[in-house]
A and B are shown apart, each in its own frame.
Chain A
């Protein structure tokens, strides 16, 4: 059932983009308010608490846009779809070639039909190229990288860890030391 929900969300995200932005903003604002409350409870003044909450959150617009972008991405692996498009283009190209052979060239309608067929094929080719480039860039940015894929990729001893997508998590101990500091300064 989850794919039905995901597809509905995907369609809604494209049909009502303003609503999506509002929804994400409401959620992020709630987070900032909760952080502000926590800061106040720790003894900060309300103004300072809010400023600190906004600062610790980071770039609000960037986070909001990232969330909206993820919601607008396809809720399934687009590889089969792209393969299907490639096959369709190949079939259409074959049909167009047959058509070109059979249709008399001196006929104006025949020439127009061939031109339309070529235009359709070119358009499909551009769509497929664009979707491939978009999906590649998403993969590089780690937007669609599944944890298991990430782990599998980095389990290999030959893989380059420096290029691996990373999440910003800070690991400290009770004295505020990072794992590296713990090892070298103990």
Chain B
């Protein structure tokens, strides 16, 4: 079956990255894997969009990075959530729940 792309709002990607990192420090590849894992393989982040997203969040001070050695003994950049990022995630989750609730309400209207 041909698969078509579904474009979600950019904020969604940022929120998913924050959520993935709230579970522990990860490198970029790991972030993509974790998003797929926590969504039950329902969401697949395009790799090209992931890195600008990570850099943008780091620029905003919501995540921070550090070079370390990965499981396979390679140098990799690991990202982790900052305190500001944790607060931001709570705000994003609340916004998302409000938006989703409002959309469901609108769709169920008769």
Are B82 and A178 neighbours in the complex by a CB distance under 8 Å? no
CA separation between A62 and B1, bound complex, in Å? 30
Q: A30-B75, A71-B55 are in contact. Are A165 and B9 (CB under 8 A)?
A: yes
CA separation between A66 and B59, bound complex, in Å? 13
Question: Can you name the residue of chain A whose Cβ is closest to the Cβ of B77?
Answer: A27
Closest CB of chain B to A150's CB: distance in Å? 4
Across the interface, B47 reaches (CB within 8 A) one of A5, A56, A152, A180, namely A56
Question: Can you name the residue of chain B whose Cβ is closest to the Cβ of A152?
Answer: B95
- Interface status of A154 (Cβ within 8 A of chain B): yes
Are A6 and B61 neighbours in the complex by a CB distance under 8 Å? yes
How many chain A residues touch the partner (CB < 8 A)? 57
- Count how many pairs of residues, one from A and one from B, have CB atoms less than 8 Å apart in the complex: 164
Provide the residues of chain A in CB contact with B48, threshold 8 Å.
57-59, 62-63, 168
Q: Please encode chain B, from 20 to 47, with 1 for each CB lying within 8 Å of some chain A CB and 0 for all others.
A: 0000000111000000000001111111
Are A148 and B1 neighbours in the complex by a CB distance under 8 Å? no
Stretch at the interface among A82-90, A97-105, A111-119, A139-147: A139-147
Across the interface, A70 reaches (CB within 8 A) one of B7, B10, B59, B88, namely B59
Across the interface, A168 reaches (CB within 8 A) one of B3, B49, B51, namely B49
Closest CB of chain A to B62's CB: distance in Å? 9
Which residues of B, 65-110, contact A by the 8 Å Cβ criterion? 70, 72, 74-77, 82, 84, 88, 91-92, 95-96, 98-99, 102
Are B49 and A148 neighbours in the complex by a CB distance under 8 Å? no
Are B44 and A63 neighbours in the complex by a CB distance under 8 Å? no
Closest CB of chain B to A142's CB: distance in Å? 5
Provide the residues of chain B in CB contact with A57, threshold 8 Å.
47-48
Are A2 and B82 neighbours in the complex by a CB distance under 8 Å? yes
Are A169 and B45 neighbours in the complex by a CB distance under 8 Å? yes
CA separation between A3 and B75, bound complex, in Å? 26
Provide the residues of chain A in CB contact with B76, threshold 8 Å.
27, 30
Question: Can you name the residue of chain B whose Cβ is closest to the Cβ of A73?
Answer: B59
Question: Can you name the residue of chain A whose Cβ is closest to the Cβ of B95?
Answer: A151
Q: Which 4 residue pairs of A and B lie closest in terms of their CB atoms, listed nearest first?
A: A58-B48, A147-B11, A2-B61, A167-B13
What residues of chain A have their CB less than 8 Å away from a CB belonging to chain B? Answer: 2-3, 5-6, 23-24, 26-28, 30-31, 33-35, 37, 56-59, 62-63, 66-67, 70-71, 73, 75, 142-152, 154-155, 164-180
